[in-house]
A and B are shown apart, each in its own frame.
Chain A
Amino acid sequence: NAGVTQTPKFRVLKTGQSMTLLCAQDMNHEYMYWYRQDPGMGLRLIHYSVGEGTTAKGEVPDGYNVSRLKKQNFLLGLESAAPSQTSVYFCASSGQFSNEQFFGPGTRLTVL
């Protein structure tokens, strides 16, 4: 089992460009999450999903969109990247009745 995987690992964008981050999990988990990690601020929840076809806003959703067309995949989109979106992005998944979220290795995004 690969667990939670994220692609790409690194990306540099120019202001205004768009991109999609892909998260995949092979544990048949119902719940999936996107976080961003910034120095001194811990992890903040961007969007999450409690099942295929459903998504919800987290703490910092502005500037991001998500889709969960398949249970195993959770996509995070940036339509028009801004320097404030420079961050490390983590995807996580968990079972519906689990106390553990499993994290991917992260995507380091720089917006110039």
Chain B
Amino acid sequence: GEDVEQSLFLSVREGDSSVINCTYTDSSSTYLYWYKQEPGAGLQLLTYIFSNMDMKQDQRLTVLLNKKDKHLSLRIADTQTGDSAIYFCAESSHQGGKLIFGQGTELSVKP
């Protein structure tokens, strides 16, 4: 079945770049997402990318997609302490469809 994998933890210093990686198995994935979860809260959509794109940039966020290797990454430039959260990768095969989530990567930003 479909599977999405992420490493569980990442620690960076304030001001550095963070790179969170994700791999997925479903070759029919059409949409790939990054969600952010702050402590005690629900998930918020950060950004998403269509499978026919290689890259998407949105202010400090850069998403890279390697469809051949089924690898997705999220780069956060100039990481701030407010970026500390759990980041989830997710995939879907169609708009409005159910999402398959990775385990989440807990990002810790040290001053």
* Shortest distance from the beta carbon of B48 to any chain A beta carbon, whole Å: 5
- C-alpha gap A105/B43 in the complex (Å): 8
CB distance A105 to B42 under 8 Å? yes
List A residues 34-81 near B (Cβ within 8 Å): 35, 40-45, 48, 58
Minimal Cβ-Cβ distance residue in B for A41: B103
Name the residue in B33, B43, B103 with the highest tally of chain A Cβ atoms < 10 Å from its Cβ. B43
Is A103 within 8 A of B101, CB to CB? no
B42 touches A98 (CB 8 A): no
Q: In the complex, which residues 42-65 of chain B have their Cβ closer than 8 Å to any Cβ of chain A?
A: 42-45, 48
- The answer on a CB contact under 8 Å between A43 and B43 is yes
Q: Which residue of A lies closest to B45 (CB)?
A: A100
Report the bound CA distance from A106 to B96 in whole Å: 21
Contact A42 B104, CB 8 Å, known A100-B45, A106-B42 = yes
When the two chains form their complex, are residues A95 and B96 in contact, meaning their CB atoms are under 8 A apart? Answer: yes
A45 with B98: CB separation less than 8 A: yes
CB nearest neighbor in B for A99? B48
Partner of B45, one of A58, A95, A97, A101: A101
* A96 close to B (CB within 8 Å): yes
* B58-99 contact mask (Cβ, 8 Å, vs A): 1 or 0: 000000000000000000000000000000100000011011
B interface residues (Cβ-Cβ under 8 A, vs A): 4, 6, 8, 31, 33, 40-45, 48, 88, 95-96, 98-104
Binding site for B on A (CB under 8 A): 4, 30-31, 33, 35, 40-45, 48, 58, 90, 92, 94-101, 103-106
Task: Kindly list the 10 A-B residue pairs having the minimum CB-CB distance in the complex, ordered from nearest.
Answer: A103-B42, A42-B101, A42-B103, A43-B101, A103-B43, A100-B45, A96-B96, A105-B42, A97-B95, A42-B104
